């Protein structure tokens, strides 16, 4: 049976919850529709997070991202909505999502949103300031 897009995000138990470590994902095939024109918008999503008790399961993330393919959404709105859904599902210590949308009308748009658990401070050796705020675009 073929996979279908889904808004359901699955998680699994963090195999090392006592340690702060960063999980980095690049999702180069994000698409949604421009709410004004109905034309497709393409983006690369870069997700960095420090899990607490749960990690995001990759296949469910793939199906979740796929679920936006036929939805109209402004870049700012969809980036914030994705972060909110990921935070709700996994309750991380820290999460940053950068969405770099392909050029539209001569303009590249990058939206960066962040979540930090209250009172959490990164452990030694975990430098969040050095995280890229957006994917590298070889065309620029």
Among residues 34, 55, 85, 127, which one is catalytic?
Answer: 34
Q: Give residues with Cβ within 8 angstroms of 137, minimum separation 6.
A: 44, 100, 108
Told to judge if 41 belongs to the known catalytic residues of this protein, a careful annotator would answer: yes
Among residues 32, 41, 48, 55, which one is catalytic?
Answer: 41
Pairing outcome for strands 23-33 and 40-50:
antiparallel
**Rounded CA separation 13/87 (Å):** 15
Cβ-in-10-Å burial (0-12, 13-18, 19+) of 51 comes to: buried
Told to judge if 32 belongs to the known catalytic residues of this protein, a careful annotator would answer: no
For the annotated catalytic residues, the residue numbers are 34, 41
């Amino acid at each position: 049976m073929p996979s279908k897009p889904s808004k359901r995000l699955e998680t699994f138990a963090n195999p090392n919850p006592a340690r702060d470590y960063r999980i980095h994902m690049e999702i180069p095939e994000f698409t949604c529709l421009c709410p004004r024109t109905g034309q497709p918008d393409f983006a690369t999503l870069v997700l960095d997070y420090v899990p607490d008790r749960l990690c995001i399961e990759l296949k469910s993330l793939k199906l979740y991202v796929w679920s936006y393919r036929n939805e109209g959404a402004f870049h700012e709105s969809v980036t914030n909505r994705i972060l909110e859904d990921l935070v709700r599902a996994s309750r991380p210590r820290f999460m940053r999502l950068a969405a770099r949308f392909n050029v539209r009308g001569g303009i590249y748009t990058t939206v960066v949103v962040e979540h930090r658990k209250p009172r959490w401070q990164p452990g030694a050796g975990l430098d969040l300031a050095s995280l890229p705020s957006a994917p590298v675009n070889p065309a620029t």
